Amino acid sequence: MAKQKTILIVDDVELNRAILCELFQHTYAILEAENGEEALRVIKQHQEELSIVLLDVVMPVMDGIEVLRRMQGNAALERIPVILITAESSESTALKGYNLGVADIVNKPFNPEIVSRRVENVMELYEHKRHLESKLQEQYAALEEQAKKLARTSAFVIDTLSTVVEFRNGESGSHIRRIRQITRVLLEALSAQYEEYRFTDAQISLITDASALHDIGKIAIPDSVLLKPGKLTEKEFEVMKSHTIKGCEILQRLDLGHLQNDEFYQYCYEICRHHHERWDGRGYPDGLQGSEITIWAQVVSLADVYEALTNERVYKPPYTHSSAVSMILNGECGSFNPQLLDCFLQASDKLREITVVPARSAGDGSVSLESELVSQQPPTPSGPATLTERTLRLLELEREKYHVLAELSGEITFDYDVSTDVLQFSEKFVSVFNESFRMMHARETLCNSTMIYEADKKIIEEKLAQLTPADNVRKFELRIKTNTGEYEWFEIWINGIYMADESDSCSNLIGKLTNVNETKLENARLRRRAETDPLTGLYNRSAVKRMAEGEVGAVFFIDVDDFKGINDRFGHANGDRVLQQIGSGLKAMFRHDDLVGRIGGDEFAVFLHGQNDRSLLERKAQDICRMFQEVRLPEVRAASVSGSVGIALCPEDGADYDAAIDCADQALYSAKNAGKNRYAFYDRNAKTAGFRTVLSEPDSDKRE
């Protein structure tokens, strides 16, 4: 009677463990652990019984990633497969898991049937792997003792391994047979055509046998990547590309003894590692170029491309022989050795006979093995493959969940398709802007529309121009007209999605809009409060300095004459009324873009942007002096108020605002020394006291 398989479930949430127990308890023996530390103890105690571990990531005491590191360190991962079942769905976590050797990753909430099938597949795969490793050890030990059985035993091992790879990869058993045949034809053509490639019959047989193991590394690629029918993400494509390295690791892990230096082993290793290298250096994993790639790896590479083109895959129909030959010769599938291409063309008729599947033309679009892996839809005239009802239902469910979350957060999501120039928003866009959620001819529409504040359109252009594959996220703010008819501030996040190929072209822009108008207005109110003098409502000292910094213009330094006497005689309340009237008077007589501020006590400053007209400044100074004479205190009829004004230019008198205000201060004291209600211009060339004074004539006091 077969021994019952045992599953270890590791999760800190008891309900999660209970659900998985319900799923597997009728078929397998169950062990449980509620944290990583406890899991390691169970693994150590029951390692001979365990068939698989279902492992959560986020747990107390010790998390799942640390458990994987410990298992990797003591080689437990080589014996016991691990599936991560976790709510932690970030790509970085998934990549850590794959790099540490997990067999698969399932995200919560999960479909029980899918989890059950994945567990069964992984256990079966590892059983095959253990069986094959054991079988290979036996066979290679026999090879060492029985040299006469070398050919038969090698064929058995190769066929077993290649069959397992084909079975798991979802390909028919004829794939490896065709690779062998194409490889032999090309090797024979090379030997006949070029002296430097004279292979013996024995070498051709060894290379042909070794070609069957070119994709052995796919045994180590998780089902979620290997069997994915749709487009692979960049991260998944990197995992898929690793099958070249994984295959070499499998070969190295086999205990071949002294045979590891054998010619056949070298063929296997170099073909497995380099059958995706390209003549121009744009292949992987090592980026080899030209003759750096062994000729047998080049031959299998070309055989693999031709076989893939002329036979059906889950992501594409077959191409005709003539279309495949044309695409390869035109460089649409990567670059190859010119000598090899010449032999490929000469052997064309023989290759046509190997193509046993009736092929139909699939168009003239370019295809390579790399692009097949990431192709989302086959380039057929009939368009993309139809998704199953179940897949559509799950995709619709995910879309609905995402939209609900976006609605709850108050955000509007969008997706711009670069190729079709269509911009599509989430439903909330309609209610906020009274516009359709789908915008055709988006570039022209947005350029001509008044929806976006005209001055802000250039912000979009600048931010989009900055996007690159390596730096593909931008955040900025702009004003958009809502259904109220008013422009409101929105924060925009844009993420560029780039093609995972040589073109590095941007295919989509996705992102979100968040209304930040209230926040912006509140921040503006707080900023105004921080920059405003509470008594007069004018700018304060720091605000005037900040806004005048680096500007060209004229500075008025204004001071109330004998303000202390006013406070002493009439009280501070009346003194405050004097300052308020002066502030109102100054604000009324200057332009809205001039800076009028109270910079301390009874001192005021005015900065006139771009002004250096002496006659205009003199008239303004006279207006200020007259304004002082009009100040009234209702309770004190005899009150008399006057002031003094110093004037300086920036940058003529002072290079910056601070220097100019110092010069205006010196001119102010010159005016005060001459009497009340006077003004003076600073003049650095004057002989007396460093400035020249121009005095106003005080108007007669018309008050009673």
- Domain match, 513 and 395 both: yes
In a domain, 380, yes or no: no
In a domain, 338, yes or no: yes
Give me the pLDDT at residue 552, please: 94
- Domain match, 24 and 88 both: yes
In a domain, 495, yes or no: yes
Q: What is the DSSP string of 271-321?
A: HHHHTT--TTS--SSS---GGGS-HHHHHHHHHHHHHHHTS-BTTBPPPPH
- Domain match, 357 and 416 both: no
Query: Which residue, of 469, 485, 520, is where some domain finishes?
Result: 520
Query: In which residue are the tokens 């998934």 written?
Result: 94
- In tens, the pLDDT along 613-627 reads 999 999 999 999 999
In a domain, 515, yes or no: yes
Give me the pLDDT at residue 373, please: 31
Q: Residue 575 carries which side chain, given as an amino acid letter?
A: G
Give me the pLDDT at residue 377, please: 32
What are the C-alpha distances in Å from 699 to residues 497, 583, 624?
A: 73, 21, 12
In a domain, 136, yes or no: no
**Contacts made by residues 514-520, CB under 8 angstroms, sequence distance 24+:** 514/409, 514/410, 514/411, 514/412, 514/490, 515/410, 515/432, 515/488, 515/489, 515/490, 516/477, 516/489, 516/490, 516/491, 517/488, 517/489, 517/490, 519/489, 520/477, 520/489
CATH code of the domain containing 611: 3.30.70.270
CATH code of the domain containing 395: 3.30.450.20
Report the DSSP beta bridge partners of residue 512. 413, 493
Give me the pLDDT at residue 391, please: 37
- Domain match, 102 and 190 both: no
Contact between 325 and 345 under an 8 Å Cβ cutoff? The reply is yes
d(CA 268, CA 206): 9
- Cα angle 374, 378, 381 (rounded to 5 degrees) comes to 155
Q: Residue 597 carries which side chain, given as an amino acid letter?
A: G
What tokens appear for 605 in the block?
């400053």
Ranges of residues in the chain whose predicted pLDDT is under 50:
1, 147-148, 152-153, 256-260, 357-396, 398, 687-704
CATH code of the domain containing 106: 3.40.50.2300
Q: φ and ψ at 693, to 5 degrees?
A: -105, 130
Q: How many domains does the chain have?
A: 4
d(CA 378, CA 148): 48
- Domain match, 400 and 538 both: no
For residue 462, the enclosing domain spans 389-520
- Domain match, 298 and 352 both: yes
Nearest to 501 by CA among 387, 368, 601, 399: 368
Nearest to 333 by CA among 289, 369, 368: 368
In a domain, 608, yes or no: yes
Angle, helices 563-570 vs 572-589, to 10°: value is 130
Query: Which residue, of 520, 550, 569, is where some domain finishes?
Result: 520
Report the DSSP beta bridge partners of residue 55. 10, 84
Nearest to 238 by CA among 69, 65, 95: 95
Give me the pLDDT at residue 144, please: 63
Give me the pLDDT at residue 47, please: 83
User: Kind and range of the H or E element at 90?
Assistant: none
**3 state DSSP class of 92:** helix
Beta strand 553-560 with 643-650 is antiparallel
- Domain match, 361 and 395 both: no
- Domain match, 601 and 488 both: no
Give me the pLDDT at residue 102, please: 87
Terminus-to-terminus CA distance in the chain, angstroms?
A: 124
CATH code of the domain containing 355: 1.10.3210.10
In a domain, 141, yes or no: no
